Structure 1
Amino acid sequence: MRGYTGAMFGYLAFATLCCLPVPVAFVVAYTAWSEGEDWAWTALVFALAGSVLIVATAHRYARNQHPRITRRDLVKEEGFSYGEETFVVWAPRSPKGSPGARLVRADVLEASLAQYGPEGGAGFTTYGDDHTPDEFTPLVRLKLRVHEAREAGEAGEAGEAGEAGEAEGTKGTADSAGFELTDDWRVPSVCLSAVTAGRLAVLVEPDGPRTRAKVTPLWPGSALLAGTRTCRVVDLEGRLSDATRRPDRLLRQMRISRSAGGIAMTGDTVDLRHLDAPTAARYTAVAERDRAFPEARAPVTEPGEESRWLVDSLPGERAAFGHVGRRWSRRGGALVRARFLEMHATYTFQNHGPVLDTVMRIQPADGTPRFDAARRLTVPMNYLAVLHRTREVVLVAHPDDGSYAVDWARTNLLAGTTAAGVIAPDGRELPLTGRPDVIWSLMNLLAAHGVANPTPVLDLRLPRMSALARVVLDTVPEMA
């Protein structure tokens, strides 16, 4: 994507063409003034007003395409605090299903992009009513293994909690195999990471044979089950417990929430002191069981991630060590590492990703205190697909005005959407996959020396890299 200056000039030219009478009005005003006509001032005022409108429109669209973050974007006081690991993602609602549908876990065995091709250019498209239009929602083919029964012992607990019907047939045993099916589903962009992680929350309708059962993924619940969205619970005594990436506990909580008609979360926290007594008691029973028999945290991603890797098929900025402006580098420009705290879906979309209301925590490079900033951004889909394992983002700090801009090429490389590596002068290939701190060090090294590298691989055999070859190899000594 273009930088802010390039976008501004492009939109200025486009707006001028669309408002062609404005420059014509300048010519008319000058001609009328030369001939001594009294109405020359009218044409001039029209031309000046039109010019202001053109500049304002170009600035608005350039700011949307290439938004800058400043301290004016500080987060206003909220009713909850963002913890060190907090990440809140507000996804579009999923169908509720029939009252008799069972809420269970499904593992994604395989995934492939079936269709995504919105018509039109790279401009913004806004919808008034449909929050998840099919045009901007990827159609993904999923092979699922649906777990019909729950783990041993849950049937009795469900009966005590009043979950009649769900426990029927379990008798304290588990059917871990369940059944498999393959179908196409529309996956909201902010929930793509649940597919990559491999854990979904689904509703299974009771009618029909098992192999043809109607299965409806609950995408907000899937983001929770996958660990993309964090989850904390405050009990009646004010104690805080973390349920993130504990799928069995999360499923129990989601069943309770579903039977209660929904439970609101404040950020990523459920406060039992704000619930009615019966629902709070059921949540408390789940929390107490987890304290008595702690559930190990599930892996960040389930085995077989390579068969669910949609990232290469999704649109978005390609990962790279990034572009460097010489003037920016000479004036002391720096890269800043930040972290997303919240993402909220909006009604606006671009071809390569949805426009989201985001909150991020920024640690300035000059050592000043960190701050949380709220900004509306277009987030690439390929980054959203790995959001369960990283929320870090790379910002480019502008030395002139102290503003920040998201560098999605560097962000995607740090997130691991593409394998990174170094090719030594002797031809050895040094992989950097899974080593974000080393990648970060190399990014800063290149930026400090004003060296651009538009690919995810640093080839030290190139003449322009010869001066930095030894320093780069010293940055990864155990691999050299």
Structure 2
Amino acid sequence: MRSRTSVFVGNLVFMALCMAAFPFFLVLGAAAWHDGEEWGWLVAVIGGVCTATIPVMAATATRQEFPGITRRDAVKGGRPSYGDDTFVMWAPRSQPGPVGAQLVRADVLEASLVRYSPDGEATFTTYCGNYAPAEFMPEIRLRLRVHAAEESEGAAGHGEFEVTGEWRVPPLCLSAITAGRLVVLVDPAGPAGPEGPGRVTVLWPRSTLLAGTRTCRVIDLEGRPAEVTRYLGRQLAQMRISRAVGGVEMVGDTIDLRLLEAGTAARYGALADRFRDCPEDRAPVTEPGEEARLLVDELPGEEAGFGTAGRRWSRHGGHLARGRFLEMRGRTTFQVHGPVLDTVLRIRPTDGTPPFDAARRLTVPMDYLAVLHHTKEVVLCVSPDGRSYAVDWQRTGLLAGLATAKVIGRDGREFSLPARSEALWPLMNLLASHGLSNPAPVLDLRRRRMGEVAEAVMEVVRDRGLEPTDHRA
């Protein structure tokens, strides 16, 4: 397991090699000034200033590459307090779409990655303004079943139909594909005239709402909150009202009718009354057929596994903890395997102290973003002194179900763990407490170094009622 110190030393050596000319200018200028050359002091100053930036640049690169979280990153006053079941996503805005287009639901039947090949070779690529570069958005081929509008707002609607096409998908919105529910605009005038459906435009941020990735609540005029997450009929109706009036602002994950214009608030209130009189069933977390839409094996990210652990780190009190994302906000900085996001993370220390919220800029892998509707949980490696936390994406990926975990007993029997199994967390802690590394998702107890934990691992497997998938002795 890499430490922050080792990462800093590596970056310091790299920066020193890249900027080796500046220490030479410092020595050359100082020597020339000592010999009475008037230009020597200028060269020495330039060389000294540039030399002094080497450790600063190394520290900056280390903070980006090894984003440790401490109590100093705790969220300060002035930000909203979120509940444990809240997730707020500030996603890029969608294009308004053609005038008169119908806002409807579309189910994702199949999805496959067409291409993702960013041109930049730098570790971090930053763009100015609010520019969303296409090369950092994977291009995905989708087969959609587009539903007819339940409420056409006076426009002529089209029946259900299927369409196949390729779309650039913002990384923050990948989970909407896995969940299988999108919000689309259908142009009323198709190639064959008004009788056929026209171009289909996907509204990605609204799709994450319909998918349930982003939580949504509504506070009525009397101040009563109502949960709207994964109530598809009500959400689509709300989106149509919002589009008709030019947009409705969400405060965090909440729409407060007391802050809206009177006419808009009245329409929202009437909608709430309608669904209160005729309740709808809550949609599942994901639609059937997820295996045909799951892109985690094609998207970039760290390989999921039981993780690495150093003996020294373990002996001195290093351990694992869990956290949960409460907020993600898109930026204009990207890495090849994921966007750099401003996040708020609720950390649950294991020493009995209360959970705290930390605001930290993190690179979030795309394969994890693709299952964000399933889980917002992360695994954190805690420093031996308990003061610093670092997100462990290997263990987080396995806990999120990015790979199928498997345990092979000493007798050769294989036990497959279901995605997001409760057995994963105790197994990870068991290995970490003994300083045992197992970066793969397969835990083979026949290896000699696993002897000290083999019986404890099998006890966890038996306690969870897991049956062997391979009965060979």
TM-score w.r.t. structure 1 length?
Answer: 0.91
Q: Distance in 2 between matches of 1:212 and 1:164?
A: 17
Equivalent position amino acid for 2:373 in 1: H
Deviation of 1:45 after TM superposition, in Å, equals: 5.7
1:202 lines up with 2:202 in the alignment: no
Q: Distance in 2 between matches of 1:122 and 1:465?
A: 39
1:320 lines up with 2:305 in the alignment: yes
Equivalent position amino acid for 1:165 in 2: G
Change (3 A) 1:19 1:102: same
Equivalent position amino acid for 2:288 in 1: P
Deviations 1:202-222 (A, max 9, x none): 000000147662000000100
Runs of 4+ in 1 over 6 A off after TM superposition: 32-44
Deviation of 1:259 after TM superposition, in Å, equals: 0.4
Structure 2 counterpart of 1:179 = 161
Name the SS for the 2:443 alignment partner: strand
Deviations 1:403-429 (A, max 9, x none): 111110111010001111111111111
Structure 1 counterpart of 2:344 = 359
Instruction: Select 2:154's aligned residue among 165, 172, 176.
Output: 165
2:398–2:420 contact (8 Å) kept in structure 1: no
1:289 lines up with 2:274 in the alignment: yes
TM-score w.r.t. structure 2 length?
Answer: 0.92
Structure 2 counterpart of 1:158 = none
Equivalent position amino acid for 1:186 in 2: R
Q: Distance in 2 between matches of 1:53 and 1:466?
A: 49
1:193 lines up with 2:165 in the alignment: no
Instruction: Select 1:442's aligned residue among 407, 416, 427.
Output: 427
Structure 2 counterpart of 1:418 = 403
Deviations 1:27-70 (A, max 9, x none): 43786799899998877665543332110011111111211111
Instruction: Select 2:450's aligned residue among 446, 452, 465.
Output: 465
2:343–2:360 contact (8 Å) kept in structure 1: yes
Q: Distance in 1 between matches of 2:121 and 2:308?
A: 24
Task: Specify every segment of 5 or more residues in structure 2 that has no aligned partner in the other structure, as ranges.
Answer: 468-473
Equivalent position amino acid for 1:184 in 2: E
1:146–1:180 contact (8 Å) kept in structure 2: yes
Equivalent position amino acid for 1:144 in 2: L
Q: How does 1:4-403 map to 2 (within 5 A)?
A: 4-25=4-25, 27-28=27-28, 47-78=47-78, 80-121=80-121, 123-150=123-150, 155=151, 164-166=153-155, 168=156, 178-208=160-190, 209=192, 213-400=198-385, 402-403=387-388
Change (3 A) 1:346 1:124: same
1:227–1:388 contact (8 Å) kept in structure 2: yes
Higher deviation after alignment, 85-94 or 38-47: 38-47
2:107–2:145 contact (8 Å) kept in structure 1: yes
| C-alpha RMSD of matched pairs (Å) | 2.3
Task: Specify every segment of 5 or more residues in structure 1 that has no aligned partner in the other structure, as ranges.
Answer: 156-162
Deviations 1:292-329 (A, max 9, x none): 22221111110000000111000011101101022211
Deviation of 1:21 after TM superposition, in Å, equals: 2.5
Equivalent position amino acid for 2:185 in 1: L
Name the SS for the 1:69 alignment partner: coil
Q: Distance in 1 between matches of 2:344 and 2:286?
A: 25
Percent identity of equivalent pairs: 58
Name the SS for the 1:53 alignment partner: helix
Higher deviation after alignment, 432-441 or 131-140: 432-441
Higher deviation after alignment, 31-40 or 360-369: 31-40
Change (3 A) 1:81 1:130: closer
1:405 lines up with 2:390 in the alignment: yes
Give the paired residue count: 462
